[in-house]
Amino acid sequence: MPGKNNTPSKKSARKKGAMAAPDTTIATLGPAKIPSTMPFSRFVDEDPNVDIHVREELDLDQDESLRLYFEKAGPRKHTYFDPSKTKCAIVTCGGLCPGINDVIRAIVMEAHHNYKVAATLGIRFGLEGFMPEYGHNVWEMTPSEVSDIHLFGGTVLGSSRGHQPPEDIVDALERMNLSVVFFIGGDGTMKACQKVQEECLARNLKISIIGIPKTIDNDINFVFQSFGFDTAVDAATQSVQCAHTEATGAYNGVGMVKLMGRESGFIAAQTTLAQREVNFVLVPEAPLELYGPMGFIPALAKRVQQRHHAVIVVAEGAGQELCKANGQTDASGNPVLGDICTILRDEMKKYFKEQNIPLTMKFIDPSYIIRSVPANANDRVYCGFLGQHAVHAAMAGKTGMVISKMRGHYIHLPLSLVTSKRRKLEINSDYWRAVLDTTGQQAYYE
C-alpha cells in the first residue's frame, strides 16, 4: 500500500485462537531519496524491527501475551525532506511536566546541527498558537536561544488546554509552509495530533506529524514510562518524607500526601516503593471502601492504635465513587474530579472522635510543585533521546506516529495504538503486590 512502510513478514506472532494483532506499520509521506548528510552517524536500516511481547496494552489475560513487531527508531540513510528547504514547528499542550524544555531543546539542536534545517518555529501557548484570533506570536528558535532552557521547569513555549478544530490547525500549517510539526502532549494532544494527520492526508499534504507523549501520570498506552515521571517520583518522595516526619512528631499523628493520578496510580505506587515509609496507598484502579470488613478508616485506626503514627498516599483519582460527581469536564474534556482527600479527612476525624482515639492530622498537596520542577538527570537523558529520534523520524518522512521506549528499545508507534485507551495500573500484577507488601496495609483489614 503506497504511503506505508510495509515490512513484509512478521507483523505479529501469536497463539492459535488469540486476538488479532494490531497493525504496527508506520505511515510515510513517500520514498526517502535524499542521501543523509548527518555526520558520524550509524544509520538504522529500514527493515529491522523490534519484537516485543505485550499484554496489558491490549487487555490480554494474565497468562496470555502477544508478540508485536515495531519499527526501530533512529537516523535513516536517506531523508524524505531536503533539510535546506524544511521548516519545522514545535507545540506543547496540556499540563506542565518535568522535561518539556529538554525535549524542545533536543529537537532544536538536532534539527539545526545535524540536519541543518531551514528553521524551527515555536508555536506559543498550545494549539491556540495556530489560531489567528488569539494573536500569539511565533518564535523562531535557534540553538543559542534554547541552550539553557533545560535548566528550568515548565515550557518556554507556554501551553493551553482545549479543543481547536483540526481543519483550522491544518490551514495554519499551510499558511506557515511547514513540513514537520512536533506535538508534545498527553492523551488529548495525541488524539488531536491524529486528527491533524488525518486532515493532512485528506488534503494530500506532505506534512510530517510526529507526537512525543507527555504525561506526568504515566498513563499513555504503549508508553512504558513517560518523560518527567522519574522526576515527579523524586519530588514526591520528599513530600512523603515530610509527611512521615510530621506524623512521627505527634502522638497518633497521620500524614496524608495527595499525588497526581487522575485515572492511573503510577506516581503513588512508585513513590511508595521509593519511600518505604508509606502505610496506606490509595489509587484509582483499586476500589475504596470507607467502612466494613475492607474499610479503610477502621484499618487506619487499627494501625494508629498499634504504632501511633501513619502515612497515607492518595492518588487524586482514588475513590471517585465516593465523591459527588457533578458531570463537569475541564478544557481538555477530562471529568472534574471530586475531592477525595477532604472526604477522607472528614471521615477520619469523625470516626476517631467516635472511637475516642486522639488524632493529629497533617495534609500535604505538592501537585504543582512536582509538575513544575526541572527534569532530573535520568529524565534529561530520556528527553534528549526522544527529541533526537523525533527529528530522525520526521526527516525520513514518517508521519502519524509517536516516539516511545519499550523494553529498552526506542521505537515508532502508530498514533492509533497510543490513543486506543489509557494505560492503567494493573492491580493483579506482581508490581502492585510489591506495593502492598511494602505498605503492609492489608494486615490492618479484618
DSSP codes joined into one string, 51-77 = EEEESGGGT--TT--EEEEEEEPS--S
Cell of 222: 504503549
State how far the Cα of 329 lies from the Cα of 291, in Å rounded to an integer.
30
- Just list the catalytic residues: 217
Contact between 364 and 79 under an 8 Å Cβ cutoff? The reply is no
SS3 call for 119: strand
Contact 159, 125 (CB under 8 A): yes
Distance CA 274, CA 5 (A): 42
Residues 6 or more apart whose Cβ sits within 8 Å of residue 228: 97, 98, 99, 100, 214, 215, 216, 371, 375, 379
Which residues are 364's β-sheet partners? 257
Per the DSSP assignment, residues forming a β-bridge with 121 are: 89, 140
Query: Does residue 28 sit in helix, strand or coil?
Result: strand
The answer to whether 67 and 57 are in contact (CB under 8 A) is no
Count other Cβ atoms within 10 Å, centred on residue 296.
23
Note the maximum CA span of the chain: 78
Phi-psi region of 199 (alpha: psi -120 to 50; beta: other; left: phi over 0): alpha
C-alpha cell at 347: 471521615
Burial of 231 (0-12, 13-18, 19+ CB in 10 A): buried
229-248 helix and 377-395 helix, angle to the nearest 10 degrees? 160
Rounded to the nearest 5 degrees, what angle is found at the Cα of 97, between the Cα atoms of 93 and 102? 90
